[in-house]
Amino acid sequence: MMQTNSKKTKKGAAILGAVGIITGLVIASGLGLSSSGTVSPGTRQAESLQDAFVSVSETLAPSVVNISTEQVMKYRYYGYNFNDLFDRFFNSDDALQRPREKQYKRTGLGTGLIVSEDGYILTNFHVIKEMTKITVILSDKSSYTGRVTGADKARDLALIKIDPRKKLVKAALGDSSKVRVGQWAIAVGNPFGYDHTVTVGIVSAMGRFFEDSDETGVHRLPNLLQTDAAINPGNSGGPLANIDGEVIGINVAIVSTSGSYAGIGFAIPVNDAREAIDEMMKSGRTLASTGKSAGPAGRENKQNEVNFLGVLVADLTPDMIAKYDISERAGAVITAIDPNSRAIASGLNEGDLVIEADKQPVRNLDDFSKITAKANQDTGVLIVIKRSGKVMYTVLYR
């Protein structure tokens, strides 16, 4: 009897032991542990990638700022002051005869990137355009009043200066010429006012063009990086970084039917941004003065582009060929020259056909934009034109 119980006890213990081993293996599997207690290769890779994202976030955070802007808008109207009972009931005739002035404040949000320890901050030009007050909030929540020290309208970049009470942490700028489609892309910014938001995606494409219009005409940003990292209103001016925490682009625009993230965002390559920074710091003035576009503004004038060299350029279309009596079938047409730019002294005329820029052939507007986007502030860009069958050349400066 006792022997039988002993066998049953041993058998039960064996079963319990087996169950314990199986349970341990299941738990170890869930924790990413092998039977030897080590972390599985898959978990190690996932944790390594996670650590990289955390590192990028921590590295960039001190160099990313929140920019809030304010513009006082004034307008005139005829009518009553409905907040004034006397005016409503006793000055009715006078109210309809004399104009009144009213004002309101327009506010905006954006992101900036610290590019020097003494307080220079890079952002998009459209973030600070026509704003009367700029407030910069650092990652430590300290607040400063910013002033615009330079603007490159064609690249949609601007430089803001603050006077910090201590040295700032400037961002590490990478090399956008080494960017590859498919590599990781991390965006940091203030979408909808949620400061220091980090989103992750990849570089979806390179060399993209983005077109937008305002009262001065249609503007085209060339040579952009495309990403599917979430970019929303408020991200403008913020960095797009690689997995090493180096800035590879400045977020500038999105394509969306709703105005919010739809998987297609664009960033200005950091090499282009670096050139703009150097020129704005060196010149200490606003670059890329643009005049009114020739012809009606808006999508109907989409072939025109106000270029940062002070000229309005268009694709060579059948209409342009007929208008300017052009015999060639390739090139970019000068349609207007900004009288406030250095281009006024270039000798160019409306109707000149640009066939070459910087010793490279120009077949269309895209070629012209891409080549001249790298024009140097001091040496300018050499362009070759055809006018009435004659070949001429001149130099355009920013």
Q: What is the pLDDT of residues 95-108, one digit of tens each?
A: 555 566 666 677 88
CA dist., res. 376 & res. 342, Å (int): 14
Using DSSP's 3-state secondary structure scheme, residue 17 falls into helix
pLDDT number for residue 178: 95
Q: What is the pLDDT of residue 299?
A: 31
Average of per-residue pLDDT across 343-362: 89
Q: Is the pLDDT of residue 322 over 90?
A: no
Q: Is the pLDDT of residue 193 over 70?
A: yes
* For residue 81, pLDDT beyond 60: no
How far is the CA of 109 from the CAs of 141, 151, 168, 238, 252, in angstroms? 16, 18, 21, 11, 13
C-alpha distance from residue 159 to each of 219, 289, 308 (Å):
20, 15, 16
- Among residues 57, 126, 152, 195, the one annotated as catalytic is 126
Q: Exposed/middle/buried for 120, CB within 10 Å: 0-12, 13-18, 19+? A: buried
* pLDDT mean over 134-157: 92
| Predicted pLDDT at 289 | 35
How many residues are given for the chain?
398
388 is catalytic: no
Q: Regarding predicted confidence, which is higher, 147 or 130?
A: 147
| Most trustworthy range by pLDDT among 57-66, 91-100, 276-285, 348-357 | 57-66
Rounded mean pLDDT, 353-361: 92
pLDDT at 312 over 90: no
CA nearest 158: which of 340, 310, 287? 287
| pLDDT band at residue 257 using 50, 70 and 90 as cut-offs | confident
Of the candidates 57, 63, 152, 156, the residue annotated as catalytic is: 156
Q: Is 118 labeled as catalytic in the residue annotation?
A: no
At residue 14, the pLDDT reads 54
From residue 353, how far is each of 321, 334, 362, 395 by CA, in Å? 10, 6, 10, 14
Phi and psi angles of residue 141, each rounded to the nearest 5 degrees, phi first = 75, 5
- If you average pLDDT over residues 188-206, what whole number do you get? 95
Q: Is the pLDDT of residue 41 over 90?
A: no
Q: Residue 78 has what pLDDT? A: 53
**Which residues have CB under 8 Å from 355's CB, separation 6+?**
328, 330, 331, 361, 362, 384, 385, 386, 391
Q: What pairs with residue 120 in β-bridges?
A: 161
The residues near 281 (Cβ < 8 Å, ≥ 6 apart) are 120, 149, 150, 159
Task: Give CA–CA dist 306/212, Å, rounded.
Answer: 11
229 pLDDT above the threshold of 90: yes
Check pLDDT > 60 for residue 62: yes
pLDDT of residue 112: 97
Query: Whole-structure pTM over 0.75, yes or no?
Result: no
Over pLDDT 90: what percentage of the chain? 44
Residue type, 161: K
pLDDT beyond 80 at 207 = yes
Angstrom CA distances, 101 to 43, 90, 105, 163, stand at: 66, 19, 14, 36
pLDDT at 319: 83
Q: Judge whether residue 269 has pLDDT over 80.
A: yes
Is the model more confident about 379 or about 392? Answer: 392
Please list the alpha-helical segments (H only) found in 284-364: 318-324
- pLDDT at 275 exceeding the cut of 70: yes
Has residue 194 got a pLDDT over 90?
yes
Who has greater pLDDT, 9 or 58? Answer: 58
Edge-first strand order for the sheet with 64-77 is 143-145, 133-137, 64-77, 100-114, 120-123, 157-161, 147-152, 286-287
At 283-302, the pLDDT tens digits run 554 443 333 333 323 333 33
Q: What is the mean pLDDT of residues 366-389?
A: 80
Collect all residues with Cβ–Cβ distance below 8 Å to 232 and sequence separation of at least 6: 191, 192, 254, 260, 261
Instruction: Map out the domains of the chain with their CATH numbers.
Output: 2-61 (no CATH), 176-283 (2.40.10.10), 299-396 (2.30.42.10)
Centre a 10 Å sphere on the Cβ of residue 205 and count the other Cβ atoms it contains: 15
DSSP H or E segment with residue 240: strand 239-241
Q: What is the largest CA-CA distance in the chain?
A: 120
Q: How much is the average pLDDT of 137-153?
A: 93
Write out the two tokens for 189.
């910014």
Torsion sign (Cα): 131, 233, 205, 267: positive
Residue 236 known to be catalytic: yes
On average, the pLDDT of the chain sits at 80
- The amino acid at residue 89 is F
Q: What residues does 313 pair with on adjacent strands?
A: 305, 334
Q: Which of 63, 236, 346, 369 is catalytic?
A: 236
